[in-house]
Structure 1
């Protein structure tokens, strides 16, 4: 079972095959970060009391963490960025007598994400029983 399947299982409640089990109710709610990690607390919209880290679980991508990645570069390659298309203009072969475009890859590089939740960040929270799962940051377009 991968991480997403485990989260879906926890949020979705017991297996339907278990006839004696009562399904867990899940709600999606918006909240505001009151205190950043490590003493994380959030204030859920419509509730006057913040919830502290003892009641919270947080998605890994919102924490300081490392991942192993591959970095690929190809000069002049067009990249679709969703709202626009840009060319990779990094020129790494200026001193080369060859007019060829440079292409390279760094494999198995460790990338450390440093950006954690900050006071005032808006977050999407799934609540199940007395546990609150911070799923992601949310912003208005």
Structure 2
């Protein structure tokens, strides 16, 4: 802490400047200039591009999987590519071919427990992002995409 001198008003101004100025975190806007895995982001009003080593990215902006429970009440629809998942005991033991187009099960529930859901919408070139600068601008956290209307 610095030594505060001068009149009462001057001391108050100096104290406010010392304690009220917080530069620990800065919030910036930027543009993705290279997609992952070689991620680069150009921060607005800065002359440099941040590279992947300077960035921490929120998981929601990456390609990742999550385990979820799904429930659909009534009017469940199953397509041909998913029939073996929902009807694992279905066997066809004849000759020739079997064509399955789909099934609509009206007034039925579909419950899928501990199902893996894959998110593939990772950052791409041109995306606008909200970035928080920490450690005096040495590290940046990519918080989310920035959208304007």
Interval of TM-score (by shorter of Structure 1 and Structure 2)? 0.5 to 0.7
Match of 1:25 in 2: 24
TM-score, length of structure 2 as denominator length: 0.62
Matches within 5 A, 1:1-141: 25-75=24-74, 92-93=104-105, 101-129=107-135, 130-141=138-149
Deviations 1:48-92 (A, max 9, x none): 21110110000011111110011110137xxxxxxxxxxxxxx83
RMSD: 1.7
| Count of equivalent residues | 99
Question: How many Å separate the matches in 2 of 1:119 and 1:72?
Answer: 35
> What SS is found at the alignment partner of 1:54?
helix
Question: How many Å separate the matches in 1 of 2:116 and 2:105?
Answer: 25
Does the 8 Å contact 1:92/1:102 carry over to 2?
no
Does the 8 Å contact 1:35/1:41 carry over to 2?
yes
Unaligned runs of 5+ in 2: 1-21, 76-102
TM-score, length of structure 1 as denominator length: 0.65
Does the 8 Å contact 1:63/1:117 carry over to 2?
yes
